[in-house]
Chains A and B, each alone.
Chain A
Amino acid sequence: GQNIDQPTEMTATEGAIVQINCTYQTSGFNGLFWYQQHAGEAPTFLSYNVLDGLEEKGRFSSFLSRSKGYSYLLLKELQMKDSASYLCAGPGGGNKLTFGTGTQLKVEL
């Protein structure tokens, strides 16, 4: 089974850097996903980590530590359009993903 925890909401300033944390408990771990979801829209894939370390993809980076059951999503040079919910997800047993409740990020001027 798996529990995924992430903060409910965060606020940051345009142009700044923000780190969104995710902790999980899992057996049979097979990677951790991050999705972005704007209000009223579909979740869109951001990143997938299966090995420890940092994966960088433009302004977004994702980090994983399997031994600590910990991941974070790092957003640099924040823009207003980055205001969204960020969902951490991992294997929920079998072939389904278990999602956290999401972190609502608000970017302010």
Chain B
Amino acid sequence: NAGVMQNPRHLVRRRGQEARLRCSPMKGHSHVYWYRQLPEEGLKFMVYLQKENIIDESGMPKERFSAEFPKEGPSILRIQQVVRGDSAAYFCASSPGGDSYNSPLHFGNGTRLTVT
């Protein structure tokens, strides 16, 4: 049973380019969460999605960032016009139920974005 799959593992973009990060949840999980981790900092919640719906995007910057979880295919976190401050590790997690605090989140290995 494959775990949460994220790709790419490493992504390098120049300032102004777009970054697309992909996440396939664990089999049987329909709830996806995206977190960002800066060096020496904790995981910061960005967005929570179910299939075709954004449930909570309170942690997502209002500009340049968007997320989707289509009916078919992986969840996508999209960052437009990247800046150096976007450099971070982006982790995706999935769960079978909607309450992340009642069932453990399963994390992918993350995508390390470097903006040059």
Residues of A in contact with B (beta carbons under 8 Å apart): 30-31, 33, 41-45, 48, 87, 89-92, 94-102
Which one, A41, A48, A87, A90, contacts B43 given CB within 8 A?
A: A87
A42 and B109: CB pair below 8 A? yes
Proximity bits, B26-39, A CB within 8 Å = 1, else 0: 00000001010000
Closest Cβ–Cβ distance, residue A45 to chain B (whole Å): 4
Complex contact B98–A42 (CB within 8 A): no
**With contact pairs A42-B91, A95-B55, A98-B45 given, residues A31 and B102 touching in the complex (Cβ less than 8 Å):** yes
Q: Are A43 and B107 in contact (CB under 8 A)?
A: yes
Residues of B contacting A: mostly: loop
The listed residue (A44, A90, A102) touching B107 by CB distance below 8 A is A44
Q: Count how many chain B residues have C-beta atoms less than 8 Å from C-beta atoms of the other chain.
A: 27
Instruction: Write the chain A residue with the least CB distance to B97.
Output: A95
Q: Are B100 and A95 in contact (CB under 8 A)?
A: yes
**Which residues on the B side are within 8 Å of A98 (C-beta)?**
45
Contact A42 B108 (CB under 8 A): yes
Q: Whole-angstrom distance from the CB of A8 to the nearest CB of chain B?
A: 9
Question: A100, B42: Cβ atoms under 8 Å?
Answer: yes
A-B contact pairs, 27 of them (CB 8 A): A30-B99, A30-B102, A31-B101, A41-B109, A41-B110, A42-B107, A43-B107, A44-B107, A45-B104, A45-B105, A48-B104, A87-B43, A91-B101, A94-B56, A95-B99, A95-B101, A96-B33, A96-B45, A96-B48, A96-B59, A96-B100, A97-B45, A97-B101, A99-B35, A99-B42, A99-B44, A102-B42
Inter-chain CA distance A96–B98, complex, in Å, is: 9
Instruction: List the count of A-B residue pairs having beta carbons below 8 Å apart.
Output: 61
Partner of A42, one of B44, B55, B102, B110: B110
B48 partner residues in chain A, CB cutoff 8 A: 94-96
A62 to chain B, nearest CB (A): 13
B102 touches A97 (CB 8 A): no
Nearest Cβ on chain A to B43's Cβ, whole angstroms: 4
